[in-house]
């Protein structure tokens, strides 16, 4: 847990050792499990202060679990220190979610595993089969987040500290998928990222060279089924893309990519439109971004409410069980900020 806490705060072993006033060797041995039973109270007190985690965090059990490296979107250009910090913070969230699930049973829609190599239509066929399995009406999906959470998949809005990282999937205990999404991005892009990660969850267990393209093709068909959207592209124009964005709740860039996939536009015309997007600044900020609200995940908060309302936990007790400070628990898990009093 010391390593997770250290990496979550973006510190090296040397930096942590200097802050606490011990040798780097001691930190290294502690992280390797060689100092069990010989850690002093003074050390623990200083560690909790420097790393800003309560004592209960360091006494919990559990280990870090790596997400598939290919599941990172836009990973290649990011510094390794930032990726390590994100990994640590997400693993801490994963451990908290696993703790919440210990006393909760999820009522969920089926979440199958469908290998794209076993379907002639590949990711597009899988996307349509999943829409059928989940009885999704034809046309746009109104709330992508609720749809995915109804399968028992836990979604977390997570500030990666950069706009270059859209999201990733990680598997928790008992095959519970957890998806981390970057809420600092436009809501339409967040929906596409969630569909992309859903593609990974449904189709991929082992990394493959084609997995990113497969996940994107799945996302395109899942959010914008060919039979429903193809005729709506015509007559094709940037203005048409802006109107379709409001109807389908996906970005103009995603719509243009989808039009290319479906052969609606030629490669030459698509290149021209991409240049126009760059000229007008649509690569970073599109028209109507503010008219598509960010979908808020609720499952993690609902799990916590089971403990508070049904199992009789106080905020203090549940925060302690999750290895959190009470104020952080209220803000990060319950989304209610700090209270003037503890609600029992």
pLDDT tens for 208-247 read 899 999 999 999 999 999 999 999 999 999 999 999 999 9
Q: What percent of the chain has pLDDT over 90?
A: 68
Q: Which of 117, 113, 184 is nearest to 151 (CA)?
A: 113
How crowded is residue 174: how many other Cβ atoms within 10 Å of its Cβ?
10
100-133: burial string, b at 16+ Cβ within 10 Å, e else: bbeeeebeeeebeebebeeeeebbbbbbbebbee
Lowest model confidence (mean pLDDT) among 165-169, 221-225, 286-290? 165-169
How does strand 154-157 pair with strand 177-181? parallel
| CA angle, residues 201, 207, 213, in degrees to nearest 5 | 75
- CA dihedral sign, ordered 220, 226, 232, 238: positive
| CA pair distance 231, 32, nearest whole angstrom | 60
Q: 106-142 pLDDT, tens per residue?
A: 877 889 999 999 999 999 999 999 999 999 999 999 9
| CA pair distance 239, 231, nearest whole angstrom | 16
Write down the pLDDT at residue 31. Answer: 84
pTM of the model: 0.89
Identify the H or E element spanning 20: helix 13-20
| CA pair distance 6, 35, nearest whole angstrom | 16
| CA pair distance 217, 204, nearest whole angstrom | 13
The answer for 62, left when phi > 0, alpha when psi is -120 to 50, beta otherwise, is: left
Binning pLDDT at 50, 70 and 90, where does residue 326 land?
very high
Report all structural domains of the chain as residue ranges with CATH numbers, in order of start. 1-59 (1.10.260.40)
Asked if 149 contacts 159 with a C-beta cutoff of 8 angstroms, the reply is no
């Amino acid at each position: 847990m010391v390593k997770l806490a250290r990496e979550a705060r973006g510190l090296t072993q040397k930096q942590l050792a200097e802050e606490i006033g011990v040798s780097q060797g001691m930190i290294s041995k502690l992280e390797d499990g060689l100092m069990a039973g010989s850690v002093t109270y003074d050390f623990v007190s200083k560690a909790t202060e420097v790393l800003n985690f309560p004592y209960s965090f360091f006494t919990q059990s559990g280990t870090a679990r790596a997400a598939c490296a290919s599941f990172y979107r836009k990973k290649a250009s990011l510094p390794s220190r930032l990726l390590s910090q994100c990994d640590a913070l997400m693993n801490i969230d994963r451990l908290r979610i696993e703790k919440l699930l210990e006393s909760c049973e999820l009522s969920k829609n089926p979440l199958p595993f469908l290998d794209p190599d076993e379907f002639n239509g590949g990711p597009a066929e899988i996307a349509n089969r999943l829409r059928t399995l989940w009885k999704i009406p034809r046309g746009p999906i109104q709330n992508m987040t609720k749809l995915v959470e109804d399968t028992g998949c836990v979604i977390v809005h997570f500030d990666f500290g950069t706009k270059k990282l859209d999201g990733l999937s990680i598997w928790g205990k008992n095959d519970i998928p957890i998806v981390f999404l970057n809420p600092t991005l436009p809501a339409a892009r967040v929906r596409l990222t969630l569909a992309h990660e859903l593609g990974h969850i449904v189709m991929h267990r082992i990394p493959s060279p084609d997995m990113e393209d497969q996940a994107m093709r799945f996302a395109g068909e899942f959010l914008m089924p060919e039979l429903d959207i193809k005729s709506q592209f015509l007559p094709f124009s940037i203005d048409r893309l802006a109107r379709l964005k409001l109807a389908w709740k996906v970005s103009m860039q995603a719509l243009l990519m989808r039009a290319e996939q479906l052969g609606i536009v030629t490669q030459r015309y698509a290149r021209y439109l991409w240049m126009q997007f760059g000229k007008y600044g649509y690569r970073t900020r599109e028209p109507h971004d503010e008219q598509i609200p960010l979908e808020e995940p609720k499952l993690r908060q609902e799990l916590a409410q089971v403990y508070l309302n049904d199992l009789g936990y106080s905020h203090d007790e549940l925060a302690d069980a999750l290895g959190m400070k009470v104020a952080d628990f209220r803000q990060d898990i319950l989304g209610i900020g700090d209270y003037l009093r503890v609600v029992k």
